[in-house]
Structure 1
Amino acid sequence: MVGIDMSKFEDCNINDDLKADLERIGFVEMTAVQEQAMSPALDGKDLIIRSKTGSGKTAAYLVPILNMIGRGRKPRALVVLPTRELAIQVNGVAERLGRRSRIRSTVIYGGSSMARQIESLERGTDIIVGTPGRILDLHDRGFLDLSAIRYFVLDEADVMLDMGFIDDIRKIMSFLNEEKQTFILSATMPEQIVEMASDFMHDPTTIMVDSDEVTVKEIDHYYTITKRNRKLQALQNYLKTYGPQKTIIFSRTKAGTKMVCDFLLNKGYNAVMINGDMSQSQREKAMYLFRNRVEYLVATNVAARGIDIRDVTDIINFDLPDDPKVYVHRVGRTARLGSDGRAFSIVEENQKDAVRQIERMARVSLRQIRMQD
């Protein structure tokens, strides 16, 4: 590859149908992780990719897989993700990139009709995108044949670990043929992930691009200090003053998401919420509205896992998280792929030390602003 400009997809050694679909959906210039992953992935190497969410890592594995997979009678690629929302998003990308080459992709996840997913599998598919529990359930019931899998992707591996899926992942991997290409992607690399990689991968190529520290440094950080009973007023003042566009507002509790969402709706703002008390259909409807029509999404940290929306302009911490790492993960949902981002935190009077901890851990400066009534 020496002397060849590999910064654009059109310069990669991939088929013309895939290039056309990439161009159609606006994927022209490769991100850093895509550029580093493309050549070894196309050469069939196992890859360990450490890269933040929003760096373009989904295309870093989907493009090589879609280029190599071809049509078949059984699924030959399996992509495992921790949440339903993320599985739906990745499957959507796979469908758009496989349109001209007619590569079929099916998404499977819990909380939705198993009969419909079985029907989709029986019609035939080339790529399975799903969550661990539903993958195991359909496999154990005999509806999901993993015998022909040649490409295996474990995305958001550290989130899988945090959510207690590590044993399910090992069980899934035990069903797969040893002669496969494996991709493991994670924002961090805990010891258990490294150990699993050594057990199931063959001489993997390791790519490390973009840490959380880089993410937060690309964002403008603000905070205000207020009394607990003035937090809603501080939120409204921020919205009036800064006019954020596509915004995720984090609340610590499920009751908090309802309180904040109701407040915004009563003030005339377009807002939806997601939390653990909602059904899957309710969550999917809320996410559809947020992507296409609504400006503000109010969410708990757990419910927001796996949300990957490229045009989020602002992150608002209605409740400041206790753990600085949670702050970093929250605000990392803005400033995607080089775009601008802004983070605003509403800090109660007894939480000033938490601001200093975030600044020390993330190596950023949070600028205090006063939200006047």
Structure 2
Amino acid sequence: AIQEQTIPLVLQSRDVVGTSQTGSGKTAAFVLPILQVLQPGSGIRALIVTPTRELARQIEEMALPLAERRGFRVLAVYGGVRIDGQIKRLRKGVDLLVATPGRLLDLKRRGNLDLSCVRFLVLDEADRMLDMGFWPDVRRIVQALPRERQNLLFSATMSRGVLSAIRDTLRNPVYVEVGASHTPVDTVEQVVLPVNQDQKTSLLVHYLTHHDPARTLVFCRTKMRADRVTHALEKQSVKVAAIHSDRDQRERQRALDGFRRGEFDVLVATDIVARGIDVEDISHVINYDVPESPDDYIHRIGRTARAGARGTAITLLSAEEGYLLKDIERQVDMTIERRDLEEFVYEERRIPLSNELPRRPGKLVYRGGAQRAAKFGMRHVKPRSRRRSAG
């Protein structure tokens, strides 16, 4: 496990880059050794920077019972809630601070944060921070810290962009990779349901109401679509909640807590909050939209089949998204099975059930009529006229 390989290195004062599959216990891999090394009551000694509020809360919730036993004070600070309460908590003293980049810099600018005693810097989900454009903020945070510190970086995936970005931050780091971080766990059954884009909502409703999956997470690419899908499910009496960055922190937490308690059977989410969703026993992940990067696909379906359990990941595939699935299959090194729902009434299919997928936009051609080409989302190319042979 990631903990077994990482904890001894942290205790040896080494900088570490840890990569492992989602749900493998990365948080404990840095929280446990930090609490073992530090002594409580001497200011902020450990700073954990993470991209989303949900992740910050998740780390705080996991660290609190471990820290309180040894007298450590833990606090998570993030946007979406009033800053005054966080300032009051900081004044009472904090040993381990979990923070999102924006709120951390805001507190620093206001003069409410003393980072001069930080001994550990942890960058959690660094690839997501890079994707979300937080890296300039991360650099400013690093510049505000003491030079003599230990740096730990953890993520489920590690891109070249991240490795390039962290080169100046880490000092002779040890790289630890547990499992193939670019592939999902083996206990996830992956399925593709080809369907017209305008039938996706109907197919989703049909699946949820006829197959009755236990606890389902539905991912949409945009906030607007997440809300639209949520409303469509509510109309069919599905117990559903939505979580995305336009919802305030109270709404997001209420939705997440309700999903955990079983008040909602379905949670609709966007990628930006995906990594903060830590809910046990998610049986199904459904990609309403094919994710735009293979890493996002892996993170999405990593919400199910945790701790050795089994799970199902279903991707609704329209013809326009075929090239995205091709990229995903290349990274996970497998052809994902295509299926039809036998009892669902499909319109004229825009994409075949076979594994033949269209290429990237701009190269899709259709040699039939112009109107039909437009319906298929393809570029129209006039068929060449055949020359008749003489005689």
Q: 1:231 to 1:198 in 2, by over 3 A?
A: closer
Report how far residue 296 of structure 1 moved: 1.0
The amino acid that maps onto 1:153 is V
| Farther off after superposition, 159-168 or 193-202 | 193-202
Contact in 2 for aligned 1:212/1:332 (Cα 8 Å):
no
- From 162, 167, 184, give the equivalent of 1:193: 162
Report how far residue 95 of structure 1 moved: 0.6
Q: Give the equivalent residue in structure 1 for 2:18.
A: 49
Listed as ranges, the matches of 1:208-223 within 5 Å are: 208-223=177-192
Give the secondary structure class of the aligned counterpart of 1:315: strand
Report how far residue 241 of structure 1 moved: 4.7
Q: Distance in 1 between matches of 2:149 and 2:208?
A: 50
Report how far residue 91 of structure 1 moved: 0.7
TM-score, normalization: structure 1?
0.85
Q: How many residues align?
A: 342
Deviations 1:137-157 (A, max 9, x none): 111211111111111111111
- From 284, 288, 312, give the equivalent of 2:257: 288
The amino acid that maps onto 2:150 is Q
Deviations 1:145-200 (A, max 9, x none): 11111111111111111111112111111121222221011233334433454423
Give the secondary structure class of the aligned counterpart of 1:78: strand
Listed as ranges, the matches of 1:128-139 within 5 Å are: 128-139=97-108
Contact in 1 for aligned 2:192/2:336 (Cα 8 Å):
yes
Answer with 1 or 2: which has the greater Rg.
2
Give the secondary structure class of the aligned counterpart of 1:302: helix
Q: Which has the higher helix share?
A: 1
Give the secondary structure class of the aligned counterpart of 2:268: strand
TM-score, normalization: structure 2?
0.81
Report how far residue 245 of structure 1 moved: 2.1
Q: Does 1:360 align with 2:340?
A: no
- From 225, 230, 236, give the equivalent of 1:256: 225
Q: Give the equivalent residue in structure 2 for 1:24.
A: none
Q: Does 1:120 align with 2:89?
A: yes
Give the secondary structure class of the aligned counterpart of 2:97: strand
Give the secondary structure class of the aligned counterpart of 1:215: coil
Q: Does 1:267 align with 2:255?
A: no
Q: Give the equivalent residue in structure 2 for 1:307.
A: 277
Q: Give the equivalent residue in structure 2 for 1:239.
A: 208
- From 177, 185, 193, give the equivalent of 1:224: 193
Q: Distance in 2 between matches of 1:79 and 1:185?
A: 11
Give 5+ residue unaligned stretches, structure 2: 345-391
Q: Does 1:60 align with 2:17?
A: no
Q: 1:151 to 1:321 in 2, by over 3 A?
A: closer
Contact in 2 for aligned 1:215/1:335 (Cα 8 Å):
no
Q: Distance in 2 between matches of 1:179 and 1:269?
A: 54
The amino acid that maps onto 1:316 is I
Q: 1:34 to 1:257 in 2, by over 3 A?
A: same
Q: Does 1:342 align with 2:312?
A: yes
Q: Distance in 1 between matches of 2:11 and 2:337?
A: 45
Give the secondary structure class of the aligned counterpart of 2:58: helix
Deviations 1:210-256 (A, max 9, x none): 23444254310112223334323321332245432222101233232
| Farther off after superposition, 107-116 or 281-290 | 281-290
Q: Distance in 2 between matches of 1:252 and 1:201?
A: 33
Give the secondary structure class of the aligned counterpart of 2:228: helix
Q: Distance in 1 between matches of 2:151 and 2:66?
A: 20
Q: Give the equivalent residue in structure 1 for 2:128.
A: 159
Give the secondary structure class of the aligned counterpart of 1:59: helix
- From 169, 172, 179, give the equivalent of 1:203: 172
Give 5+ residue unaligned stretches, structure 1: 1-31
Q: Give the equivalent residue in structure 1 for 2:109.
A: 140
- From 298, 302, 317, give the equivalent of 2:287: 317
Identity %: 38
Contact in 2 for aligned 1:53/1:308 (Cα 8 Å):
no
CA RMSD of aligned residues (A): 2.1
The amino acid that maps onto 2:32 is V
Q: Distance in 1 between matches of 2:161 and 2:292?
A: 25
The amino acid that maps onto 1:33 is I
Listed as ranges, the matches of 1:53-92 within 5 Å are: 53-92=22-61
Q: Distance in 1 between matches of 2:141 and 2:34?
A: 19
